[in-house]
A and B are shown apart, each in its own frame.
Chain A
Amino acid sequence: MADEKQALVEKIIKDVHIVLSNTAELYAFDIVPVETNFRNKSPVMCIENCLGLESWCVKQVYLHSYTVLMDKMCFKTQRKSRQVLDSETLLRLLNVTLLINPDLSVLWNKRREMVQELLLDKSSELKFTRLVLSRKPKCNDAFAHRRWILGTYLNSHQINTMESLINTELSVCDLTADKCPNNYHSWSHRLWFINKLRNSIKQDDMHTLYIKEYNFSERWMSKHVSDFSCFHYRQFCIKNTYNLSNLSWKTFENSLDINFRKVLLCLLVNNFPKDMIIQASEQDLVSYSEENLIQFLLSYNNSCSCNVDSVSLCRKFEILCYELTLNSELLRFYKHHESMWYHRRFILHEIIEMMYDHFGLFRHNGVLVRKSCKYCKTTDLRQKQAKIIRSHGDCLYKSVLFQVIIKHEKSFIQERNDDNHAVRHEKYLKLIQGLNNLM
């Protein structure tokens, strides 16, 4: 009886192996709930490139393969001695055991050793982890295994099909993010991957990728309004656009079919404070250079004579104002979603932080502090600091951009007062962003 059982288990492991090695593009794996072996057929199925294992056999298969691996591979006794199993049998057992329980780091480690010994090839490892993730989209060990494989690829520059590698990786992230909302590991992996590519591909290609990911995150965010992980990734994409070259910026605007400047100006003219005398019409503003526009928005001359990169600063404000507008639209459409309100905090925090930075200030635990200029490294005398902070702070709070943003937020909070998060948002701005006496 015991022999019969063992033979059956070994047959199942072999069947899984056959499917794994004969199906080039396996799409998914899952355990199919079938309580008993009533059909007396193999519990291994392969339908439309998907591998299934009937649940009745899972315990037996797992206990067998796990025990054999832990005993015969000499994991338990002498670590140093070579395994008694040949690499083919070993791989079969590793595959089936990890498909059932992908949290077994010790087995992933074994696979990495086999890759180092050239007993396993890297591209098949990427396929295998994808299969594991199709069933367990939050499995960090599988993502970590991919990071290890990708790390060895990218560090050695042995890639000649970079584009397909990038597409595959992003599609694995799409798949796992789609299967499981708020999938921390998936989004974290995506972010890691993009950062990792920085050292491996040309700057132009990197900028193209930033644009692609920015556009992707916009689509995703509009369809998954309660998935903050995606909003967090969006924030990463936004920050990446800050560094686009002039040429990429043009491509960027064209790809979105959006005139960022227009969005910014529209937000401005609709929210000019009543008590402020504005000596520029929308028409005038359209013709402004970036330098003039920044001068108009912030009317401030840096005390040290260092040049401000007006073009870059202007673009940042444009991106952020576009994001603010987009966020407002989403909030009008979908109510009561904390994620979108949290994203709004980020947008406002970025805008305000940039203004502080422009005025040579930053906030630390609720207190304004003077920053030494990062270009000329001037530092003020300690006595003068308090005075400078006060006067620069005043200039900032009186600036057109600050006034516009405050007015815009106040009216938006009022408009959305049936959403309990609007009240929270106001409190956050006042108490945490330090705008208590300013709005």
Chain B
Amino acid sequence: MSFKTKDVVLSQTRPTTLLLQKHADYLASYGLNKDDFEYCMTEYLRMSGIYWSLTAMELMDQSSRMPKDDIIEFISLCQDSESGGISASNGHDPHMLYTLSAVQVLAMYDRSDAINIDGVVKFVVSLQQDDGSFFGDKWGEVDTRFSFCAVMTLSLLHRLDAINVNRAVDFVLSCMNFDGGFGSKPGSESHAGLIYCCVGTLSICKRMDALKVDELAWWLCERQLPSGGLNGRPEKLPDLCYSWWVMASLSMLNRIHWVDQEKLEQYILACQDSETGGFSDRPGDITDPFHTLFGLAGLSLLGNSSIKQVNPTYCMPQETIDRLRLEPQILLI
């Protein structure tokens, strides 16, 4: 029996500086020399893949290397004319998750005109239930992630008034646990990713006052492990994506200084692959666009000046949020 904390040890030879150009090159060529099998295996989340890559490129100020026109055309093609929702890829079914990714991408490109906005609004509205919760699609799965998708999508389109915001907030609050955290459904275990979704929902709906701030921030800070990395739940291994979910939540709570930022930065940098470029979940693992975005966004929250400022609620460049004149709530201490 081991009494050691589940964690990783950072090696001496790990990267300790930000390899920005490597990451930009990695994302620019990602999907170009695509292995057909990999491509088919991940097609079900293509739209989110585009959002991760584009946002990362925007944060590095190199988004001009992305095929803008192709992306916009692809998104138009993925909107379902009947429901108004957007799918992950051509031929897949519309879903709240990919509708949000598409709207985020178009917001960064300032090209919301490429889709039928009323259709998207109709889709989101049609998925709200009496208790304020949201289905992910017509098949009826409920999750707090979908609440976040709904309010974020509508707020990016300046149409938040189309849903019952109070009920949406009430549902999210019904998923709060004694530790101040949130799960995917009422009564479900607290989980850092879902906490981010719920805090984000409250930030967009300007209801941050409803949080148990001290309990929640305490729980979030306890996610930091001796390696500096963060896990998403007790006794789990650190994973780079939690650098985003935990830190973005703490940013909205205005308590980012409660974690050891220097150690976290070391952990994030150690997750880079100095050969291929990109970031992975843990040092030495294979990199992907998902972790690459959250690595860069995490570093941005920590104040790295070679990356553009990221907005903690939307996980998009602050300049986009400013251009759209959105003001997600951040708690005052």
Contacts and interface: CB of A to CB of B under 8 A. Distances in A.
Nearest to B216: A432
A67 B58 CA distance: 33
B90 A432 contact: no
B92 A105 contact: yes
Nearest to A353: B178
A104 B44 CA distance: 6
A252 interface: no
B333 interface: no
A83 interface: no
A155 to B, nearest CB: 11
Interface string A207-240: 0000000000000000000111100100010000
Contact of B189 (A67, A229, A334): A229
Nearest to B211: A365
A184 B191 contact: yes
B189 A187 contact: yes
A6 to B, nearest CB: 16
B92 A75 contact: yes
Contact of B179 (A70, A101, A109, A345): A345
Contacts of A432: 214-215, 218
B144 to A, nearest CB: 11
Contacts of B215: 432
B185 A63 contact: no
A59 B41 CA distance: 10
Given A182-B236, A184-B191, A431-B214, A62 B40 contact: yes
Nearest to B217: A432
Interface string A267-285: 0000000000000000000
B213 to A, nearest CB: 6
Contacts of B191: 184
Nearest to A148: B139
Contact of A70 (B1, B4, B91): B91
Interface stretch (A128-136, A242-250, A335-343, A384-392): A335-343
Contacts of B37: 59, 62-63
Contacts of A29: none
Given A106-B92, A151-B140, A184-B191, A228 B233 contact: yes
Nearest to A424: B222
Best-surrounded residue of A76, A112, A229 (most CB of chain B within 10 A): A229
Given A66-B40, A104-B44, A336 B187 contact: no
Best-surrounded residue of B6, B90, B139, B183 (most CB of chain A within 10 A): B139
B70 interface: no
Interface in A173-232: 182, 184, 187-188, 191-192, 195, 226-229, 232
Nearest to B183: A188
A1 B139 CA distance: 42
B93 interface: yes
Interface string B172-190: 0000001100011101111
A59 B35 CA distance: 11
Contacts of A79: 80, 82
B5 interface: yes
Interface string B87-103: 10011110100000000
Contacts of A226: 6, 235
B189 A232 contact: yes
A365 B218 contact: no
B93 A228 contact: no
A167 to B, nearest CB: 22
Nearest to A233: B189
Nearest to A364: B212
A349 interface: yes
A90 B155 CA distance: 40
Given A59-B37, A109-B139, A432-B214, A182 B188 contact: no
A101 B93 contact: no
A50 B91 CA distance: 33
Contact of A63 (B3, B36, B188): B36
Interface in B119-138: 137
B234 interface: yes
B141 interface: yes
Given A76-B90, A76-B91, A365-B214, A335 B44 contact: no
B189 A106 contact: no
Contacts of A144: 139, 141
Contacts of B80: 79
A15 interface: no
B3 A336 contact: yes
A188 B91 CA distance: 30
Contacts of A63: 36-37, 40
B189 A184 contact: yes
A368 to B, nearest CB: 14
A147 interface: yes
Interface string B39-60: 0110011000000000000000
Interface string A101-121: 101111001001000000000
A228 B187 CA distance: 14
Contacts of B184: 184, 188
B214 A182 contact: no
Nearest to B215: A432
A36 B137 CA distance: 41
A191 B187 contact: yes
Contact of B93 (A105, A184, A350, A424): A105
Contacts of A59: 37
Contacts of B214: 365-366, 431-432
Contacts of A337: 235
Best-surrounded residue of B41, B188, B233 (most CB of chain A within 10 A): B188
When A and B form their complex, which 10 residue pairs have the shortest distance between CB atoms, in order from nearest?
Answer: A75-B91, A76-B91, A232-B189, A338-B234, A228-B234, A226-B235, A106-B92, A59-B37, A336-B3, A144-B141
5 contacts: A62-B40, A105-B137, A109-B139, A188-B188, A191-B187
Given A182-B235, A187-B189, 15 more contacts: A63-B37, A101-B41, A106-B87, A106-B92, A184-B184, A184-B233, A188-B185, A188-B189, A338-B222, A342-B179, A345-B178, A365-B212, A424-B222, A428-B218, A431-B218
Interface of A: 59, 62-63, 66-67, 70, 75-76, 79, 101, 103-106, 109, 112, 144, 147-148, 151, 182, 184, 187-188, 191-192, 195, 226-229, 232, 236, 334-339, 342, 345-346, 349-350, 353, 365-366, 424, 428, 431-432
